[in-house]
Amino acid sequence: EGSQDEAGGPVDPQDQAELPSSSACRYLGQLDDSEFERALQKLQLTRSIWTIDLAYLMHHFGVRHRFCTQTLGVDKGYKNQSFYRKHFDTEETRVNQLFAQAKACKVLVEKCTVSVKDIQAHLAQGHVAIVLVNSGVLHCDLCSSPVKYCCFTPSGHRCFCRTPDYQGHFIVLRGYNRATGCIFYNNPAYADPGMCSTSISNFEEARTSYGTDEDILFVYLDS
């Protein structure tokens, strides 16, 4: 939830060069930038973005998806977390309504636990997935040393990687290497994101951090 259940906790669109749903749709070869902007306006996604918002965007574009989370709605326990505090009161009702209306709107949401093997099986079929992670935990093994632990900090932005507080961020999973035990992903914070890689153990720590609700949006290539 972007913060997860927050169903993907909040992410300020102005903090990212492009949304992960934009990356995924582009990967599927069916995104028109102007149409994407109109969709954001139609769905009123102008302040903060939650994972449930991304699921609605996928439905809007006719992309087959499956949103898995630990919490069907906003977790009130996040209210006092610094990352959620700014938008919590104003977003709680809106996000909960999206969850409540999901089935009627044909947005597929499930309360379930997803294993690494489930994720690998999805990627092995050529699909992608949008995952909510704690960016303060996740680090890339391929980035140059000056930014190795600041993979989510675009040039000119404040580095928040070393803060002990939760920092929600979406990444787009692209594949994995079973032999080396690593996960490949793109970071939408960059306008032209290269491929990043981290160990499965580091990925697991980042995606299961308190605040993520273990949100994952499976996106299917055959949509």
Report if residue 162 sits inside a domain. yes
Whether residue 7 lies inside any domain: the answer is no
Flag whether 2 is in a domain.
no
Q: In total, how many domains does the chain have? A: 1
pTM for the whole thing? 0.78
Tens digit of pLDDT for each residue in 128-177? Answer: 999 999 988 888 888 754 444 455 555 444 444 555 678 888 899 999 99
Read off φ and ψ for residue 163, nearest 5 degrees.
-70, 145
Query: Which range, 13-27, 112-126, 176-190, is most confident?
Result: 112-126
- Structural domain boundaries, residue 60: 44-219
Residue in 104, 107, 114, 99 with CA at minimum distance from that of residue 68:
114
**Within a domain: residue 96?**
yes
Q: Give the DSSP letter of residue 143.
A: S
Task: Confirm whether 5 is domain-assigned.
Answer: no
pLDDT digits (tens, 9 = 90+) for 54-89: 898 888 888 899 999 999 988 776 766 767 666 677
Kindly state whether residue 17 falls inside one of the protein's structural domains. no
